[in-house]
Structure 1
Amino acid sequence: MLSHVFVGITDFERALAFYRPVLASLGIRERFCEAERPWAGWESTPGPRPLFVIARPFNGEVPHPGNGLMVAFMAATRSQVDAAHALALSLGGQCEGRPGLRPEYHANYYGAYFRDPDGNKLCVASHGQA
């Protein structure tokens, strides 16, 4: 259904220092990184799409995180959710919801929410049983 998700950032090096370890902790493989452009992308397994891409907006304007817009990454386990959330916060992310069950979504939904250093809202969620 999706080709790619693009998240606008202001400082490429800062964003890369945030996203590389967080996405690596989820087993998401980096597909490309072109600092001179600057942009980077990660691919789904088995790939090659959808992609998750970070870059400065094409029009050169400052990015503005949307209210109601959120990107959610899949985690294999609840402990992976916990670890990714803790890592994101240690890298300058802001907590938007501690890891835990969210039975209002479904019985096994275990998620955590945070914002990247540019204010983009992200989620890491596991849908399996403990």
Structure 2
Amino acid sequence: MFSHVFVATNDFARALVFYRPLLAGLGIAERFCDATKPWAGWQSTPGPRPLFVLGKPFEGEHQPGNGQMVALLATSHDQVDAAHATALAHGGRCEGPPGLRPEYHANYYGAYFRDPDGNKLCVACHEAAS
């Protein structure tokens, strides 16, 4: 369905410090990084798309949007917990701790946070606890 998802930053180096461990912990491999553009991309498996792309906006300064969120898939509740902890340890801000959200469906286990630029993210697992 998606070619790529682009998330903007005003401070590329700071954003890399946040996104590299977060995406690595979810098993998402970095495909490219070019600080001169600046942009970086992570590739889903089996790839080559969709990509998760991070970079400076083409026009002007980045402002996080109201109601916009990127949700990343986790394979377990433990992976959601670890991603949330990683996000907070690297400059993220909690927007909802890890937990079941049965209002979405019986097995929805998610955590919500903002990156250092204010972009809202979610990490969610749709499987029952193991």
Where 2:58 maps in the other structure, the secondary structure is coil
CA distance in structure 2 between the aligned counterparts of 1:23 and 1:110, rounded to whole angstroms: 18
CA distance in structure 2 between the aligned counterparts of 1:45 and 1:70, rounded to whole angstroms: 21
Q: TM-score, normalised by structure 2?
A: 0.98
Number of corresponding residues: 129
In the alignment, which residue of structure 2 is the partner of 1:11? 11
Where 1:24 maps in the other structure, the secondary structure is helix
Structure 1 residue 36, shift from structure 2 partner = 1.1
Q: TM-score, normalised by structure 1?
A: 0.98
Query: Is 1:107 aligned to 2:106, yes or no?
Result: yes
In the alignment, which residue of structure 2 is the partner of 1:25? 25
Where 2:64 maps in the other structure, the secondary structure is coil
CA distance in structure 2 between the aligned counterparts of 1:109 and 1:89, rounded to whole angstroms: 21
Q: Which runs of 5+ in 1 are unaligned?
A: none
CA distance in structure 2 between the aligned counterparts of 1:128 and 1:12, rounded to whole angstroms: 34
Structure 1 residue 37, shift from structure 2 partner = 1.0
Identity of matched residues, %? 72
Where 1:106 maps in the other structure, the secondary structure is coil
Where 1:85 maps in the other structure, the secondary structure is helix
In the alignment, which residue of structure 2 is the partner of 1:125? 124
CA distance in structure 2 between the aligned counterparts of 1:12 and 1:105, rounded to whole angstroms: 34
Query: Is 1:64 aligned to 2:59, yes or no?
Result: no
Where 1:86 maps in the other structure, the secondary structure is helix
Backbone CA RMSD of aligned residues: 0.5
Amino acid at match of 1:38: P
Structure 1 runs of 4+ aligned residues shifted over 2 Å read none
Note the 1:45-84 alignment, pairs <5 A.
45-59=45-59, 61-84=60-83
CA distance in structure 2 between the aligned counterparts of 1:69 and 1:12, rounded to whole angstroms: 20
Where 1:57 maps in the other structure, the secondary structure is coil
Listed one character per residue, the Cα deviations across residues 26-62 of structure 1 (whole Å, up to 9, x for unaligned) are: 0001010001111000011100111110100011x11
